[in-house]
A and B are shown apart, each in its own frame.
Chain A
């Protein structure tokens, strides 16, 4: 890829420390929710992930929310999960998204529908996230859809994938990362990092395998709002690793200071991440707390 596919691609390829954030679409058709979030994020980050019915709760579609963001001048990263659509619908939506100017995609499996508001739904999982990555790559590099049909104006997407260094089995996590890179991932956004030691161990393994040379890794962070949230993340959210020391730190400050402490921890984590070789950026997931992204970005000295 000599030419930059997207702004995010360009930032990463020039070696600048990339900053991405997240925007969850509304549970309704109100586009003003997106516009408001866009206002908060504009000029603060390089690109904004738009979630795809996250936690299996029906929301405005990722594609349309991405289009709203594009119209405000922000660069979206369209998240796409394989839970709800079969390969026909997925490919069709990729074509549509590209036609609207969407240039980044994050390929995911998706939370299982039993976590959501409609657990009775049939899930699809026709292909898995690995297959989706390969599909988007083949569309871009071969110009063909999954049937091998040559596409008229093939979509050229900058392809992202997720990695969770905190899930089990640990040894396998780097093998999986390698598989995603081989399948076609250009960048990786990780699960929220609270256990920096484990993240470092994972990065070290990735480096030994030569993977950090092949892919841009953006470390994920989520500011904690309270000690209760820290405990919830530790106990209730799948694939999350929140060390007890962090929970203690959140509990040790008075309640009204807790969110401030959460922001501090987040900023410290980002600063630590910047020191790790092979980390190319940070992905700030301030869940329904987008107004804090600017503060975090400023605090960490990321974007002037």
Chain B
């Protein structure tokens, strides 16, 4: 893989944890090929969507949800975490590195944290290959 290779990342995010501005920052600062899926709440995360993202060629799938105590719909972030854990189990079973799926809890104010998270993903991928 060439050093210029940009990892393909699919981002599922709750609109309360990543706003337009954060998204713009990610696009501007991070060197990944990003596909985004906007959700009204992270509870909409479903096993099959995460798997299909991998099927479509994603190197990495990320779910960004609000902190568990701050979900607007109370249990959404918990549900998202449970789904992510379940899909990680499936990835293990089928011999895919479960580290390719990760989750981050953030609010729209945590722009730097989110951007940093994506920068790390970019680096991680390059180092790994």
A contacting B, Cβ–Cβ less than 8 Å: no
> Which chain A residues have a beta carbon within 8 Å of chain B's beta carbons?
none
> Which chain B residues have a beta carbon within 8 Å of chain A's beta carbons?
none
